Structure formats: C-alpha cells, structure tokens
Amino acid sequence: MTPDQKTAFAPVQSEMYQLLLCAYCYERKFNNLEVRLKAESRAFLLEEITALRHLSNGIILHLCNLDDESSLWSIRAMTKSLGGHKETAECAKICSDLMKKYRAQINQFKTKHRNLFIAHRNGEEYPNPLMLQDYRADFRNVIQIGLSALQTI
C-alpha cells in the first residue's frame, strides 16, 4: 500500500479498532451476565441490558461502515483502490473474495437487527429488551472475516 493510500484509509483501521473494542466489551458483558445478575440489583440489570443493546447496535453499525459501497473509507473502497495498481492486484483479489463472504454473512442479520432496533422499525411495539444477540453465533465469524480482509491489505 502506498503512503497516500495508508493516509487515506487510516479511518478504516480506526473503524476496525472501534468494532473490535465493542465486540470485546459485548462478549465480556454477555458472558458474565448470568453470574452478575445473581449478585446485583435490578438497576444493574437495566444498566447492563441497555449497555448490551447499545453495544450490539454499535457492532452492527461498524460492520456496515466497513462494508459501505459509497464510503471513501471502507474495506470495500480500499480493495477497489488496491485493484488499480499492478503490485497490489493479487492482494485486492484476495480481499475482494473475503469481502464477498463478509457481505453474504452480514446482510441477513444486519437488516433484521437494524429493522428491529436501530432504524426502519415497522412495528408498533419495541421488541423485548432481553432479546440480545449471541456474539458467538451472530458476530464472531463476520468480524473475523473483516479483520482478515484488513490484515490482508
């Protein structure tokens, strides 16, 4: 990657860092929730469920930002930029294949999550606040694919 490309795409690295930080916090809170609920107050339950909901929303938003076609700084934009240079074309091909896999995995659950909790809500009621995403099932694979694509670059 050229120095200009590194500068132009520095926000992608920051976006990935924020995603990984949200995922780390979500996993820690989610995995410790059962044990902590036995010893903590109802107010604590409200705080933890609210934090988990906002962390899951943040994870979805970061995943979407990294896949954004119209953004000048997403993994998709980085891949296009690399594809335009002979010395990075092979890297761009590998990254492009990873991003196809990334998009296929993210599309279904991001739409469902966004429509339930973030935007485009079409129901009259707010969904059950205890209906939380399972990090291991929903987020881990797609985060790993995105991280692999960024590391490839």
Query: Strand, coil or helix: what is 13?
Result: helix
Q: Please give the model's pTM, rounded to 2 decimal places.
A: 0.82
pLDDT in tens, 8-39: 788 888 999 999 999 999 989 888 888 888 88
| Residue 71 burial by Cβ neighbours in a 10 Å radius (0-12, 13-18, 19+) | middle
Q: What is the mean pLDDT of residues 35-61?
A: 87
Instruction: Report how far residue 25's alpha carbon sits from residue 50's, in angstroms, rounded to the nearest whole number.
Output: 13
Residue 42 clears pLDDT 80, i.e. is over it:
yes
Residue 93 clears pLDDT 70, i.e. is over it:
yes
pLDDT in tens, 103-149: 888 887 777 777 777 776 666 666 676 777 776 777 788 888 888 88
Using alpha carbons, select from 51, 63, 77, 56 the residue that is nearest to residue 15.
63
Instruction: Report how far residue 51's alpha carbon sits from residue 109's, in angstroms, rounded to the nearest whole number.
Output: 20
Instruction: Report how far residue 128's alpha carbon sits from residue 132's, in angstroms, rounded to the nearest whole number.
Output: 9
